[in-house]
Amino acid sequence: MAKDFSTREENYAQWYNDLVIKADLAENSSVRGCMVIKPYGFAIWEKMQAVLDKMFKDTGHSNAYFPLFIPKSFFSREASHVEGFAKEVAIVTHYRLKNDPNGSGVIVDEDAKLEEELIVRPTSETIIWDTYKNWIQSYRDLPVLINQWANVVRWEMRTRLFLRTTEFLWQEGHTAHSTRDEAFAETKTILDLYADFAENWMAMPVVKGIKTASERFAGALDTYAIEALMQDGKALQSGTSHFLGQNFAKAFDVKFLNKENQLEYVWATSWGVSTRLMGALIMAHSDDQGLVLPPKLAPIEVIIVPVFKSDEQLSAITEKVLPVKKELEEKGISVKFDNRETHKPGWKFAEYEFKGVPLRLTIGPRDLENGTVEIARRDTLEKKVIDISSIVTEIPFLLEEIQCSLFEKSLAFRKKHTYNVDTWEEFLDVIENKGGFAYAHWDGTSDTEEKIKEKTKATVRIIPFNNPKEEGRCILSGKPSSERVLFARAY
């Protein structure tokens, strides 16, 4: 399969692409910019979904579904929202095709022009707030805590599998609250939830913080985000939570009567993570041998490969393996026994290694004689032979250890590539040569941020929470600053 696989050193971008394709996660489709998520890739996404979905429900949210299409007029109700998305929406203008009178194929039937054009949702705030208007009259109707799992379309010029595709899958939460404080708290709750998911399930450390004005969601008062550092030294925004204030309530006239019988606008939030998380997960842990998955999100946690020459040997192995498999499954561990005779053991080793399966058990005639099994870790590529009777206690322990170790390794990588810089020269050195996170003073103006971006392609990724106050001078303008912000080149 993947003998011709790029290394990270040779060509990081190529390495990522090869990985996605050869690990059978996704492929480019016939539709420009749109991908096909293959079963193995989708299984990972389904695991992510299941965990996040439970987290949302545990924090009081319910799922619902809103339309794919949004009337064009809705879209223009909130000024900055339109401005932010106008350049990348797909528009439906007609509803019928007809046979081409001049020849082959079908053409758009010009008689079937829509009275009002529809846009394909790039995000659902507008259609949702138009709907909430009818749902909310009283403080008793609040809060509204809804999430939807959906596909959205943003007409990107350049796309990369998972990281940026024209159509992508995500969840978008849209909540309505009676007070500013409550909406604000919701925004924070979700950001913490995302960080929890990233760190404890994806084993990917993230920095939480607030976005600058230029990186803010179109229509939000504040955007909070989690940022992760990828192995090539670039930052990846992995989840966002927006405090929308009363912007959408005002645009869609969503008011409620409070306890004092006064009419007030509703306070709002929205938040989302997308299939981009797949890209983050892939880049966070994988190596030059292929994908490395954290056990908690791996579709297969343990692969069992039998080594046999005869049917008798296979049956003998199967007899040993099945009870162990069952016991592990009873502990909630996903186990696959690959007893196919169409592929050789060596082929299977390479295959599952490339697909990032955390643990592999190999059992052959030698093991049958000795009552042992070979156990191999994907993350460290270590192999050892253990007594078959100790598998059921050993495996949960190892999976946990792998999960922790992946996080620790990523954290150590981030620490190694995080720098405090005080001068423009140091800043350039980090951004252009070393790669990674640069904590630097910034004068707080969009103007300076823009200039830094023009010169270096680096942006303020985030102003971290609980940021220590520290007097300093902006690396570019030299103006006074009271805290360091996180700069990096980003995906």
Partner RNA sequence: CGGGGUAUAGCGCAGCCCGGUUAGCGCGCCUGCUUUGGGAGCAGGAGGUCGUAGGUUCGAAUCCUACUACCCCGACCA
* Residue ranges binding RNA (CB under 7 A): 1-3, 5, 13, 28, 32, 84, 87-88, 154, 156-159, 163-166, 168, 215, 217, 225, 237-238, 240, 274-276, 289, 307-309, 341, 344-347, 349-351, 353-354, 360, 362-368, 373-374, 376, 381, 383, 457
- The one-letter amino acid at 130: D
Q: Whole-number minimum distance, CB 288 to RNA, in Å?
A: 11
Q: Whole-number minimum distance, CB 469 to RNA, in Å?
A: 28
Q: Whole-number minimum distance, CB 309 to RNA, in Å?
A: 4
* Residue among 419, 431, 442, 448 at smallest CA distance from 488: 431
For RNA, the closer CB: 168 or 437: 168
From residue 457, how far is each of 223, 243, 256, 422, 449 by CA, in Å? 21, 27, 45, 18, 10
For RNA, the closer CB: 268 or 307: 307
From residue 297, how far is each of 9, 301, 333 by CA, in Å? 27, 8, 11
What SS3 class is residue 440? strand
Phi, psi at 362, each rounded to 5°:
-115, 130
Q: How many CA atoms lie less than 13 Å away from 93 in the CB half-sphere?
A: 7
Q: What is the SS3 assignment for 139-172? A: HHHCCEEEEEEEEEECCCCCCECCCECCEEEEEE
DSSP 8-class letter at 246? T
| H-run or E-run covering 41 | helix 39-58
Q: Whole-number minimum distance, CB 156 to RNA, in Å?
A: 5
Q: Whole-number minimum distance, CB 460 to RNA, in Å?
A: 13
Q: Whole-number minimum distance, CB 158 to RNA, in Å?
A: 5
For RNA, the closer CB: 344 or 434: 344
For RNA, the closer CB: 82 or 114: 82
Q: How many C-beta neighbours within 10 Å does residue 285 have?
A: 24
Q: Whole-number minimum distance, CB 120 to RNA, in Å?
A: 13
For RNA, the closer CB: 178 or 353: 353
For RNA, the closer CB: 309 or 469: 309
Q: Whole-number minimum distance, CB 451 to RNA, in Å?
A: 13
For RNA, the closer CB: 320 or 441: 320
- The one-letter amino acid at 88: E
* Residue among 30, 340, 332, 61 at smallest CA distance from 176: 61
For RNA, the closer CB: 3 or 469: 3
Rounded to the nearest angstrom, the gap between the alpha carbon of residue 53 and the centroid of all alpha carbons in its chain is: 14
β-sheet with 113-120: strand ranges across? 69-71, 113-120, 91-94
